[in-house]
Amino acid sequence: MLNKYAKLAVKVGVNIQPNETLVLRSPIECAEFTRKVVKEAYLAGAKKVHVEWSDEECTLIEYLNAPDETFNEFPKWTAEKYEDIAKEGGAFLTIYAQNPDLLKDVDPKRISNFQKASAKALKPWRSYTLSDKCKWSIISIPTESWAKKVFPDVSTKEAMDKLWDAIFKCTRVDNGDPIKAWEEHNKNLKSKMDFLNDNNFKTLHFKSSKTDLTMDLPEGHIWQSGASFDPKGVSFNANMPTEEVFSMPHKFKVNGVVHSTKPLVYSGNVIDNFELTFKDGKIIDFKAEKGFETLSELINTDEGSHYLGEVALVPFKSPISDTNIVFFNTLFDENASCHFAIGSAYKGCIKGGTDLKNEELDKYGVNDSLTHVDFMIGSNDMDIVGTTFDNQKIQIFKDGNWAF
């Protein structure tokens, strides 16, 4: 199963081609699996695999003990390396397996300052990933701290086993031929994407027991789904798992109230049971039962973080949602629920978007920000009604699932 998963990440996730460079970012706890990915990448023809290790304990030690000025800067050489590799057509694979409570005792200002510093330094590189100018993918594997957060009432070993089983199911690795299963899955997502693009909706109305929000979509918006394509036309899956079809809202045309339906893990902290109020696209009020200060730091990252950059439709009934597990990991939780993203839009979600200059973005309703953070809003009572540009109303979601 591990070998299948590693091959899937390489062949379907980043889809490594001969003579390509791969940057592989991994926690040291995931070393055994990381080595399998490295091997699969070379078997696929990779020219060079750069492995970047991280250690959460060292990260925590730094946040608790380093001087304040440490968190106001980010290594220029790291940012330049990523940008150079992206320019030459390299790919980026991240193994995301964060302890959801790692930084709960850290001053949120320190975390926020580093988030801003790293976002500014990495913005040129992120312009490649946000516009699919390079291949990139995110996967997860269990770590002990994460597994125990998800399954606190069992032993560490049992928690790890249960989380592995869930991940294999959600990523279709438990299928006899996971690569073929992903081909079929991408086709199914494409059919939903085609329906949304063919109807060219002007407005979406989200209504549930806790959410009542209307958003306009920009003229020329494009819905995308699981598989993306780099400038050479090579497919890749940026998220594994994925169940979403996504686009961008109009920056200045979101109004109403939206309530979270799953916890959001951000900067080593959990934000839960929170609500955002929008007027003319901007967050004008917010509250949170847990993690209010962390949410405040996120929203106040910059001007763009007061607006939305992504709308994603995900059925309530899906392999991830059907596990009935709260993963405390956005990669999984966002693919069990409709979600929005605070911050930057994916420029590929509007016609000609990848060629737009920064000063042109507002004109077309495209949001730009140093950050892009997904949060979950879907539920089993969520209805979504779309209104087309010729004023036809069409039910898109009924009781949390696709209505067509």
| Residue pLDDT, tens place only, 207-232 | 999 999 999 999 999 999 989 999 99
Q: How far apart are CA 396 and CA 404, in angstroms?
A: 7
| Residue pLDDT, tens place only, 71-129 | 999 999 999 999 999 999 999 999 999 999 999 999 999 999 999 999 999 999 999 99
Maximal C-alpha separation, the chain: 59
pTM across the whole model: 0.91
In this structure, the chain runs to a length of 404
Q: Which residue has the higher pLDDT, 321 or 135?
A: 135
| Residue pLDDT, tens place only, 172-194 | 999 989 999 999 999 999 999 99
Q: How far apart are CA 319 and CA 335, in angstroms?
A: 9
Element (H, E) at 37: helix 31-43
Question: What integer pLDDT is reported at residue 354 of this predicted model?
Answer: 85
Task: Please report, for the chain, the start and end positions of each structural domain, with discontinuous segments joined by +.
Answer: 2-170, 201-234+244-402
- Output the 3-class SS for 109-138: HHHHHHHHHHHHHHHHHHHHHCCCCCEEEE
**16-20 contacts, C-beta under 8 A, 24 or more apart:** 16/41, 16/44, 16/45, 16/46, 16/91, 17/44, 17/45, 17/234, 18/44, 18/45, 18/47, 19/45, 19/46, 19/47, 20/45, 20/46, 20/47, 20/89, 20/90, 20/91
Burial of 244 (0-12, 13-18, 19+ CB in 10 A): buried
CA 235 to chain centre: 18
- Mean pLDDT score of the chain, rounded to an integer? 96
Check whether domain 2-170 has CATH 3.40.50.10490, yes or no: no
Question: What integer pLDDT is reported at residue 199 of this predicted model?
Answer: 97
| Residue pLDDT, tens place only, 284-324 | 999 999 999 999 999 999 999 999 999 999 999 988 998 99
Question: What integer pLDDT is reported at residue 326 of this predicted model?
Answer: 94
